[in-house]
């Protein structure tokens, strides 16, 4: 092993054990290749997953921000948001249902970032946090399409076309 020193301070070799007690191996700890050589991740897979879950649970705006950034990158959309731009209201501005953050998974009540004008991307002034239900129903529909859809469903509920449903 290389002897690594910065100035006069010797760097302590990392423990071969994760703090949960598990012995670090390539399987459970992965290996990161730093310029200084091969070394294990500071914690095992299970501990890192646990830490990520806890972080997500405690930082919903961060989680929504990074998910939006990933989507923007994948879809080639504009993105100029900071975490501060992600403002999560208590209730969904569309349906008035409570917005509930569970740190992972998605229900109707999960807060989600909506692009008001989808093609503009995730840019300041174009995003609102709404319920996943509202976001899912809206998808990428235009206002005109949503109006037609609403008219269609209203028409169905007042004048059923199918005789067997009466």
Instruction: Please identify which residue in the block is written with the tokens 């235009």.
Output: 142
Q: How far apart are CA 59 and CA 65, in angstroms?
A: 10
Rounded to the nearest angstrom, the gap between the alpha carbon of residue 47 and the centroid of all alpha carbons in its chain is 20
Q: Which is nearer to Zn ion, 22 or 137 (CB)?
A: 22
Return the half-sphere exposure (C-beta side, CA atoms, 13 A cut-off) of residue 95.
17
Q: How far is the CB of 20 from Zn ion (least distance, A)?
A: 3
Q: Closer CB to Zn ion, residue 15 or residue 153?
A: 15
Question: Count of residues for the chain?
Answer: 166
Q: Work out how close the CB of 34 gets to Zn ion at its nearest, in angstroms, rounded to a whole number.
A: 20
Which residue lies nearer to Zn ion by CB, 55 or 152? Answer: 55
Closest listed residue to residue 78, CA positions, set 117, 110, 132, 111:
117
The smaller minimum CB distance to Zn ion, of residues 45 and 97, is found at 45
* Least gap, CB of 102 to Zn ion (angstroms): 23
Alpha-carbon distance 16 to 3, whole Å?
17
Q: Which residue ranges make up the site for Zn ion (CB under 5 A)? A: 18, 20, 22, 44, 47
Instruction: Please report how close the Cβ of residue 16 comes to Zn ion at its closest, in angstroms.
Output: 12
């Amino acid at each position: 092993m290389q002897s690594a020193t910065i100035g006069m301070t010797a760097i302590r070799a990392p423990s071969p054990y994760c703090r949960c007690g598990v012995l670090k191996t390539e399987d459970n700890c992965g290996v990161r290749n730093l310029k200084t050589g091969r070394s294990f991740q500071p914690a095992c897979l299970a501990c890192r997953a646990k830490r990520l879950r806890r972080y997500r649970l405690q930082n919903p705006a961060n989680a929504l921000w990074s998910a939006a950034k990933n989507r923007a990158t994948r879809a080639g959309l504009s993105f100029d948001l900071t975490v501060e731009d992600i403002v999560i209201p208590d209730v969904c501005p569309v349906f008035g249902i409570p917005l509930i953050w569970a740190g992972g998974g998605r229900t109707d009540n999960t807060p989600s970032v909506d692009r008001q004008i989808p093609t503009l991307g995730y840019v300041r002034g174009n995003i609102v946090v709404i319920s996943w239900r509202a976001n899912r129903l809206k998808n990428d529909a235009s206002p005109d399409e949503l109006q037609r859809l609403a008219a269609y469903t209203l028409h169905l509920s007042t004048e059923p076309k199918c005789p067997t449903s009466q």
